[in-house]
Structure 1
Amino acid sequence: MDNTERFWNASLEELKRGYVYEGSHCVCLLCGESLEKGIIYPHEGTFYEAERYMQLHIKEEHESVFSYLIGLNKKITGLTEHQNRLLQLFYEGKSDADIQREMEIGSASTIRNHRFTLKEKERQAKVFLTLMELLKEKDEHAPTFVDVPPTAVRIDDRYNITEEERAFVLEKYFQNGSLTTFSLKEKQKLIVLREIAKQFHSGKRYSEKEVNERLKVIYGDYVLLRRYLIEYGFLDRQADGSEYWLKQ
């Protein structure tokens, strides 16, 4: 299971916590970092069990689950920029008066209206989620869609991909692990790049040479693949290109 699938399959409680249990491991839902239970992990002179160390990992690498989620694409959160900023300030414990000054909102009643709107959005989300869960029990014709990576940079119709489409594209354009062409439609490129991204592991840093070595066995123009993996949000890198890593 890749981390995108893991993220979207997580329960609300698991998402709030930021990690799940898989067998003998704790796995971070935000980046895929995996820690084995029963192992003691040292950090700055203190030793931690896996679960406590995972909590420390989330704090140090992601600041908090809230910070990670609020930073996701607005097509995933469903929030306007204004609502996003308000939620951040509420989470920081700012008073309505502080928020009024910081955001230059006209009156305290306006902030109360925003709080009511957000609460209404929460109620709607709960009802909609319940409707979709009930629908799954009845809709026998619904296709299985490929999950959208939480870190997707630009979410549009390219992500309207079923598992059947994905399987067809991979079978058509991959032979013995090699890509036959990259002259593909945008949706097909997305499918192919997601498969290629499996060559890289969460939490590991790669030099440009290491990235190139993994890509050149897949396709001759490995520089093109590397560029698209970054452009489509599968890989990230240091500004000077000294390090690359899987973006989760």
Structure 2
Amino acid sequence: MNNISELFWQASLQDIKKGFLQQADEFICLICGRSFLDGVIYPSDGQLYEAKKIIHIHVQQEHKSTFHFLLNLDKKLTGLTDHQKTILELFFDGNGDNEVAKAIGSNSTSTIRNHRFSLREKQKQAKIFLAIMELLGERVPKKSSFIEIPRNTKMVDDRFAITEEDSKKILGAYFKQGLHGPLELYPLKEKKRVVILRHLIKSFDVDKTYAEKEVNEILKKYYSDYVLLRRNLIDYGFMERTQDGSLYWVKL
């Protein structure tokens, strides 16, 4: 299993652990993408729940737990062997060393202690690597192929062809208080994002070069996650910037 949405990779570690995040007035499952609107009451097993509660119930009922979803991702994503996954699941279910040893057919609990040590070392390595990559993302080297981490260049081509009528419908749906903002929700579908980005780029003067802070100030008026908007304007080719990320301008 390795079909993970873009929203998942944008989520914080805490949101990934919960299995969902909140965007504007919507709670979105990071596993399947189902969303629940804040202020709406949802039924479940004869009971009624608010969106913040039903999203927890949804993750448990539909996906067992975030732990099990993550554990069963492809080895390329987890870096775990099938044997390690089995041991982790046994520990998660509350088994002690003796029970785990019996379950995997081992006669010695020392083997399980060795596995514990190996997994703790893996956890330490993961923390250090995460810190390294976050620091790299914060300080973009001038002589490096890294622009931002992660980085996915998109091409706005015929796949995103859309009529003027459809464009107006999309903008009306996501700018409910008017085209000057704020943006109610930043959609997952790329075509809708492109429509929104085409609108946002109109806020920038084609003859001006902007500092990153200036770009942020303009985008803040539209959406709280202005960093995501800024990245997408670059990713989809609406803006360009210097290699060190200090200056931005509209791509003609």
TM range (shorter): 0.5 to 0.7
Shift of 1:145: 7.5
Amino acid paired to 1:70: L
Q: Which runs of 5+ in 2 are unaligned?
A: 163-188, 192-252
Three-state SS of the structure 1 residue aligned to 2:5 is helix
- Identity of aligned pairs, percent? 40
Q: 1:111 to 1:174 in 2, by over 3 A?
A: same
Q: 1:22 to 1:176 in 2, by over 3 A?
A: closer
Three-state SS of the structure 2 residue aligned to 1:86 is helix
Equivalent runs, 1:216-231 vs 2, <5 Å: none
Q: 1:119 to 1:146 in 2, by over 3 A?
A: closer
> Which structure has the larger Rg?
2
The C-alpha deviation readout for 1:78-123, integer Å capped at 9, x for no partner, is 1011111110110011121111111012310110010011011101
Amino acid paired to 1:58: V
Equivalent runs, 1:85-124 vs 2, <5 Å: 85-124=86-125
Q: 1:126 to 1:145 in 2, by over 3 A?
A: closer
Structure 2 equivalent of residue 82 of structure 1: 83
- RMSD (Å) for aligned C-alpha atoms: 2.3
Amino acid paired to 2:65: S
The C-alpha deviation readout for 1:61-84, integer Å capped at 9, x for no partner, is 101111111110011011011111
The C-alpha deviation readout for 1:160-207, integer Å capped at 9, x for no partner, is xx41xx41xx63x74847xxxxxxxxxxxxxxxxxxx979xxxxxxxx
Equivalent runs, 1:13-24 vs 2, <5 Å: 13-24=14-25
Equivalent runs, 1:1-248 vs 2, <5 Å: 4-140=5-141, 141-143=145-147, 162-163=152-153, 166-167=154-155, 171=157, 174=159, 176=161
Task: Spell out structure 1 runs of 4+ moving beyond 4 A.
Answer: 143-147, 173-177
TM-score (norm 1): 0.59
Amino acid paired to 1:42: P
Q: 1:34 to 1:97 in 2, by over 3 A?
A: same
Q: Which runs of 5+ in 1 are unaligned?
A: 148-161, 178-196, 200-248
TM-score (norm 2): 0.58
User: How many residues are matched?
Assistant: 159
